[in-house]
């Protein structure tokens, strides 16, 4: 009896470590982020091999109705005074939303509509972020430890980075012990 009970993958909530299943890791380094940070000279002076963030995605079925689960680990750091952040994207299928959950560290989730209206949500351990359809999203690490965030999204959503070639309308810079939000 019960011999066919399956042990699922495991998430360690405090660290965001995923285990117990096929895992696909993508590392994004400073060299992979040209044109993303405001200070291009500071970006050129940085170590191109520096890992800015890792995304671990559980290998799972793809298709209409299927969901992906992944964890982003965004390192603490700056380019000039601007905090490390993810590239940011719209979904290729714009009508598809996503949910982020803060696991550790502290930062911001930048959300932006196609009309360019932007807003920020505070990301902390336990925060829940519902990313609506038609909304671009980017994580920013404003703290001094790794920011880890769990995401669940439809496998059909896809990533559209090109639509944000002009960048987001808000940028976040270190200021004293905290941060400053600048427009443009
Ligand atoms: O699906 C998501 O929104 C996340 O898993 C992101 O892909 C992840 O945070 C990395 O960001 P980006 O895809 O913008 O490089
Ligand atoms: Ni997304």
Domain boundaries, the chain: 10-183
* Structural tokens at position 29: 């380094």
**Nearest ligand (C-alpha, residue 87):** 1
84-123 pLDDT, tens digit per residue, is 999 999 999 999 999 999 999 999 999 999 999 999 999 9
Architecture of domain 10-183: Sandwich (2.60)
Mutate to test the pocket of ligand 1, among 86, 91, 129, 149 (most ligand atoms within 8 A of CB): 86
167-183 pLDDT, tens digit per residue, is 899 999 999 999 999 99
Report which ligand 1 atom has the smallest distance to the Cα of 159. 13
Q: What would you report as the CA-atom Rg of the chain, rounded to the nearest whole angstrom?
A: 17
Pocket of ligand 1 (CB under 6 A): 28, 55, 70, 72, 86-89, 98, 137, 139, 151, 153, 159
In whole angstroms, what is the distance from residue 70 CA to residue 2 CA?
29
Whether the per-residue pLDDT at 51 is higher than 90: the answer is yes
Nearest CA to ligand 1 atom 11: 86
Contact 54, 73 (CB under 8 A): yes
- Residues sharing a CB contact under 8 Å with residue 164, sequence separation 6 or more, in sequence order: 87, 88, 89, 90, 136
Report which ligand 1 atom has the smallest distance to the Cα of 149. 9
Whether the per-residue pLDDT at 133 is higher than 90: the answer is yes
Nearest CA to ligand 1 atom 9: 72
Does the global pTM surpass 0.95? yes
| pLDDT (mean) for 161-165 | 94
Q: Is 39 exposed, middle or buried (0-12, 13-18, 19+ CB in 10 A)?
A: middle
Give the CA dihedral 133, 109, 101, 29, nearest 10 degrees: 110
Whether the per-residue pLDDT at 144 is higher than 70: the answer is yes
pLDDT in the model for residue 1: 57
pLDDT in the model for residue 2: 64
């Amino acid at each position: 009896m019960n011999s066919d009970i399956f042990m699922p993958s495991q998430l360690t909530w405090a660290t965001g470590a995923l285990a117990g299943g096929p895992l696909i890791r993508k590392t994004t380094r400073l060299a992979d982020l040209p044109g993303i940070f405001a200070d291009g000279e500071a970006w050129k002076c940085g170590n191109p091999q520096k890992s800015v963030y890792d995304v671990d995605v559980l290998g799972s079925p793809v298709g209409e109705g299927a969901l992906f689960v992944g964890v982003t680990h965004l390192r603490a750091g700056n380019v000039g005074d601007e905090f490390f952040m993810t590239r940011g994207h719209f979904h290729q299928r714009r009508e598809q939303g996503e949910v982020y959950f803060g696991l550790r560290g502290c930062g911001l989730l930048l959300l932006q509509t196609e009309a360019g209206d932007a807003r920020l949500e505070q990301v902390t351990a336990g925060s829940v972020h519902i990313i609506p359809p038609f909304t671009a999203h980017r994580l920013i690490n404003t703290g001094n430890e790794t920011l880890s965030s769990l995401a669940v999204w439809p496998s059909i959503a896809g990533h559209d980075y090109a639509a944000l070639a002009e960048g987001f309308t808000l940028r976040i810079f270190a200021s004293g012990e905290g941060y400053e939000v600048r427009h443009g």
